[in-house]
Amino acid sequence: MAYDVIVLGSGPGGYPAAIRASQLGKKVAIVEKESLGGICLNWGCIPTKALLKSANVYEYAKHAATYGIKVDNPGHDFDAVIKRSRGVADKMSKGVQFLMKKNKIDVVMGYGKLVAPTKLEVTAADGTKQILEAKNIVIATGGRARQLPSMPIDGKKIIGYREAMVLPSPQPKSMIICGSGAIGSEFAYFYNTMGTKVTIVEFMPRIVPVEDEDVSKELEKQFKKQGIEIMTNSEVLSVDTSGEGIKAKVKTPNGEVELSADILLSAVGVIANLENIGLEELGIKTEKGKIVRDVNGLTNIPGVYAIGDCTPGQALAHVATKEGISVAEHIAGHHPEPMDYNNIPGCTYCSPEIASVGYTEKAAKDAGFEIKVGKFPFMASGKASAAGATEGFVKVIYDAKYGEFLGCHMIGMNVTEMIAEVVVARKLETTGHEILNAVHPHPTMSEALKEATAMAYGEATDI
């Protein structure tokens, strides 16, 4: 069957690309090998947030007396927590099914492989094959958990993020988490809160290593306070799964140690799904395990586009969504604005939450900026005190010469909901003085942004 656009993959990049192309009058098909919504809706962003919400509620219940509320012996049903998470994911996936029907997009279930620049071979679960044709093909195959030779994932004792979301009862009593990026940190918080003894092993000198150094220090402090053990500058050399649990040989700055646990979660990053989709046969250029594309998402083969985690750039759902919409508009003859990859917010949903955008303090200095830095602790926030969530801070970085908003780094309650203000401000080329003169509501967590800016400019009145 002939189409204007075929999208290979229905994740947060693929399905918006298909919808936008359909809105712009194109005949569209989308090919998906597993579940509509891809990893994000089914095994990533959405179900993990459901798990984390259960952990938040349990944490509140355990500390209810702090708020003058009596809750006797709060407990949790681990199976019910997992079941709720799966229910949320299933509901969202069904929502994507509805959107496909609403936008008259043909959904073809099966494994897609490019056999020509305009042809895609789709192999269904029963082995039957069909050829789809289109003037434009969008590769949105996403990524999967990276595996290290020292800890091959077996799905039982050495697991990845997918298995971590659906572990059967009994809940593990102890867990080693290798890697402290967003995935590792979120699962560390979840399992520790639910009662599992968690040890984080991080190869880099600090946890959440892509974040501003002050944020890393604060999260480590809070995690240790919660009872999570943290080993930085450390590496898992091998894992023995022959016994009842696992034994991990770990190289540390002070020599090798052996750690024992029920289970090990490998959270050492994501690699692109590039295998067996026809890239080599068509001569589609790749570099460092990613598909090379131009500012419009075009690969080196005319009519073939690539978006999301299978391409360079941040492996984030919202990045893939914007890229997918832009590609659809380019196919339709529009001239979408190029992505600004230095204004992409990053969020980690552990507790306290982390949110950041733009330059870190070190990156700003390395780029040659003379900077003004302001930091406002939530300890000084009336709303944070009332909410019983005084951990963390807001840190802002401005160019001293022109007031350009170079970056912002937050750690604390609900900061993932606050970062969008900074993204919009930076998009509009807002200066520090304009943030100072924009009246923020009181009492809110969000006013900490204005207060941090006041700190940067020596105008603070609340600290």
Burial of 434 (0-12, 13-18, 19+ CB in 10 A): middle
pLDDT at 1: 72
Model confidence at 63: pLDDT above 90? yes
Quick one: which H or E segment has residue 406? Answer: strand 405-412
Residue boundaries of the structural domains of the chain: 2-145+271-331, 158-268, 352-455
CATH T-level fold of 2-145+271-331: FAD/NAD(P)-binding domain (3.50.50)
Model confidence at 98: pLDDT above 80? yes
**Distance from C-alpha of 339 to C-alpha of 294, rounded to nearest angstrom:** 11
Residue 231 region by backbone torsions, left for phi larger than 0, else alpha for psi between -120 and 50, else beta: beta
Question: Which tokens sit at 376?
Answer: 């406002």
SS3 137: strand
- Mean per-residue pLDDT, 41-58: 94
Omega within 30 of 0 (cis) for the link into 47: no
Count the Cβ atoms, other than its own, within 10 Å of residue 329.
19
**Distance from C-alpha of 328 to C-alpha of 309, rounded to nearest angstrom:** 17
Count the Cβ atoms, other than its own, within 10 Å of residue 233.
14
Judge: domain 352-455, CATH 3.20.20.140. Answer: no
Helix axes 45-62, 78-102, angle to 10 degrees: 140
pLDDT, one tens digit per residue, over 231-266 is: 999 999 999 999 999 999 999 999 999 999 999 999
- Identity of the amino acid at 197: K
Q: Report CA Rg, the chain.
A: 23
**Contacts (Cβ under 8 Å, ≥6 apart) of 38:** 9, 10, 11, 12, 14, 15, 32, 44, 140, 142
**Distance from C-alpha of 240 to C-alpha of 257, rounded to nearest angstrom:** 13
Model confidence at 33: pLDDT above 90? yes
Cβ(42)–Cβ(175) below 8 Å: no
Model confidence at 161: pLDDT above 90? yes
- Can you name the residues that pair with 32 across neighbouring β-strands? 109
Residues marked active site are found at: 442
The b/e string for 190-224 (b: 16+ C-beta within 10 A; e otherwise) is bbbbbebbbbbbbbeebbbeebbebbbebbbebbe
**Distance from C-alpha of 265 to C-alpha of 253, rounded to nearest angstrom:** 22
Residue 180 CA to chain centroid, in angstroms? 13
**Distance from C-alpha of 82 to C-alpha of 134, rounded to nearest angstrom:** 40
pLDDT, the chain, mean: 96
How long, in residues, is the chain? 463
Percent of the chain with pLDDT over 90: 97
pTM for the model: 0.96
pLDDT at 258: 97
Question: Which tokens sit at 63?
Answer: 């500390």
Token match 């192309």: residue?
Answer: 21
Question: Which tokens sit at 53?
Answer: 């919400």
Phi, psi of 244 (to 5 degrees): -65, -45
pLDDT at 462: 85
Token match 């809070």: residue?
Answer: 222
- Pairing of β 246-252 and β 255-261: antiparallel
Cβ(228)–Cβ(220) below 8 Å: no
Cβ(14)–Cβ(38) below 8 Å: yes
**Distance from C-alpha of 15 to C-alpha of 25, rounded to nearest angstrom:** 16
Burial of 242 (0-12, 13-18, 19+ CB in 10 A): exposed
Strands (E), 262-319: 263-266, 270-272, 286-287, 290-291, 304-306
pLDDT, one tens digit per residue, over 430-457 is: 999 999 999 999 999 999 999 999 999 9
Which CB contacts under 8 angstroms, 24+ apart, belong to 288-293? Answer: 288/312, 291/139
pLDDT, one tens digit per residue, over 367-426 is: 999 999 999 999 999 999 999 999 999 999 999 999 999 999 999 999 999 999 999 999
Q: Do domains 158-268 and 352-455 have the same CATH topology?
A: no
pLDDT at 208: 98
pLDDT band at 286 (very low <50, low <70, confident <90, very high): very high
pLDDT band at 167 (very low <50, low <70, confident <90, very high): very high
Cβ(82)–Cβ(166) below 8 Å: yes
Summary count for the chain: helices (H), strands (E): 14, 24
Looking at domain 158-268, which of 3.50.50.60, 3.40.50.2000, 3.40.50.720, 3.40.50.10380 is its CATH number?
A: 3.50.50.60
pLDDT at 168: 87
For Cα atoms 102, 105, 109, give the angle at the middle one, nearest 5 degrees: 120
